[in-house]
Structure 1
C-alpha cells in the first residue's frame, strides 16, 4: 500500500548468505503496511519458516507462483484454498525469518515452473 512503481528498486540477483542469489525483489515499507496480491489466484500455502518468516504462496494464472515473504502477519482469516483477486489484502509488511535484523520490507518472488522453481525477476512485471 502506498508504494509507487517508480519507487521500486531492482534487487534481483543480489548476493545473499550461503552463496545464494536473491530470487525476487525487496520492497521497503514501514512495518504493518498492507500487502496486496499482485495477481488473482489460489492461496496455496501459508506458513512460517526460517528463511522467509511468515509467507504466503499464491498460485496464479498459467501456473505462476507468487511468493510474499517476511510478513509481520497474514490477513486475519486468510486460509489455504481461498481465492484472491488482484489487489486483495493478504498480509502486512514485517521483517520475519532471516530478515529479522533488517528494516521491514516485503520480499516478492515470481516462479514460472512450479512452487519455488523457475524464478524470474518480478521487477519488470511490477514496473
Structure 2
C-alpha cells in the first residue's frame, strides 16, 4: 500500500509542480523600492541568510514571494535535488523540513528558523519598510 500512496503523491507533484511555479511567476509581487544606500545595507544583511527550500513546495513559494515583496536577495539553496544542501540542513537543523532559514549572527553563531509563517514574520520584522 505504501508504494501506491508514494506513487500517487509523486504523480501529483509532477502534475501540480509546474502549475504552482507558473502561478508563482504570474503573481510575482512588486518589490519594495528603497534608495540605493538603504538597499545596499539590506543586501549586506542578506548575505548572512540562506533559505533551504524545495522549488515546488507551497510554503517555500510563500517565503520566496515575501522575499520578492521585500526586495531581499537571500541565497536560495535547493534541499530537494542537492545532496550537500540536504545533508547540511539535516545535520544542522535536525530535519529536512523546508522552508528553513539559516541565520548567521554577527558573532558567528547560527540559528535555524523553520516554518513559513515564522520566516515571513522574521523577514517582515527585520526588513519591513518601517525597518528599512
Structure number with bigger Rg: 2
Give TM-score, length-normalised by structure 2.
0.24
Q: Which has the higher contact order (CA 8 A, sep 6+)?
A: 1
Give TM-score, length-normalised by structure 1.
0.24
Structure number having the greater strand percentage: 1
